Amino acid sequence: MDWGALHTILGGVNKHSTSIGKIWLTVLFIFRIMILVVAAERVWGDEQDDFVCNTLQPGCRNVCYDHFFPISHIRLWALQLIFVSTPALLVAMHVAYRRHEKKRQFRKGDQKCEYKDIEEIRRQRFRIEGSLWWTYTSSIFFRLIFEAVFMYAFYFMYDGFRMPRLMKCNAWPCPNTVDCFVSRPTEKTVFTIFMIAVSSICILLNVAELCYLLTKFFLRRSKKAGNSKQQPNHENKEETKQNEMNELISDSCQNTVIGFSS
């Protein structure tokens, strides 16, 4: 069980996403999860072992490390990725529910159901409209919120995105103010900036997708309104035709009756 399982779950959602959604998923997997697993975890792997303080006092290093890194960067990113991927599950569940309903209809032998077999239902791609539109839009909204919250938490906890080389610590049991040195600060800064940049790109993609969906929704609504305005004219034409036909029929009937009687 690892990120591969998440890939399987989200891969299913990919089919029912918009194009921007597909790009977002690719960016997530290649530039965030893969970088995290393949590179970032190695960089932060020896973080406490190589965190060195200029003192022999036992316990000082542990306490200083805990003070400066309440939660490690790598763990924050892992949590961020998990939380940001979770809203896509809502969409997956909704699609699964719809498929289940269609399968049920098909099994009952409903004439309304237009599928030829169950395989077609399984392979079918649902359009993002109706209740699925609402689920999809809320999932994007939640994604945005989670990304923003984590980025802010990161900035707040570490006073920016730079990893300093030296930290001064005077927490007990350190006897005085002690110099502590972080391992690989430049490499960590580079990766931090990279991850933040990719998070920002993902936020932009999500905002773009949200705008696209809203635009599509309003365009569809105005189309429907336009269609419903046209339809009364059609109905009027048909009504007048029917009225003429009725008049002709009644006239001919009257004529026959009169003709009969006379």
Partner 1 sequence: MSWGFLRDLLSGVNKYSTGIGRIWVAVVFMFRLLVYVAAAENIWKYEHDEFECNIKQPGCKNVCFDHFFPVSQIRLWALQLIIVSTPSLLVVFHVAYRENREKHNQKLYRNPGKIDGGLLCTYLISLILKAGFEIVFLVLFYKLYNGFKIPHLVKCDIRPCPNTVDCYISKPTEKMIFLYFLVATSSLCIILNLSELSYLIFKYSIKCYLKKYMKKQQ
182 within 8 A of 51, measured Cβ to Cβ: yes
Least distance (Å) between residue 4 CB and partner 1:
9
- Determine the Cα angle at 124 with ends 123 and 128, to 5°: 140
Q: What is the largest CA-CA distance in the chain?
A: 131
Instruction: Give φ, ψ of 69 to 5 degrees.
Output: -125, 75
183 within 8 A of 47, measured Cβ to Cβ: yes
Q: Note whether 3 binds partner 1 by CB under 8 A.
A: yes
Closest CB to partner 1 among residues 61, 102: 61
Among 18, 62, 124, 189, binds partner 1 (CB under 8 A): 62
Among 1, 38, 225, 258, binds partner 1 (CB under 8 A): 1
193 within 8 A of 201, measured Cβ to Cβ: no
List 169's β-bridge partners, or say none. Answer: 178
Closest CB to partner 1 among residues 62, 105: 62
Category of 72 on φ-ψ map: left (φ > 0), alpha (ψ -120 to 50) or beta? beta
Least distance (Å) between residue 150 CB and partner 1:
13
Among 39, 52, 93, 245, binds partner 1 (CB under 8 A): 93
Among 22, 42, 75, 221, binds partner 1 (CB under 8 A): 75
Which residues of the chain form contacts with partner 1 (CB under 8 A)? 1-3, 5-6, 9, 41, 48-49, 57-59, 61-63, 65-66, 69-72, 74-75, 78-79, 82, 85-86, 89, 93, 97, 173
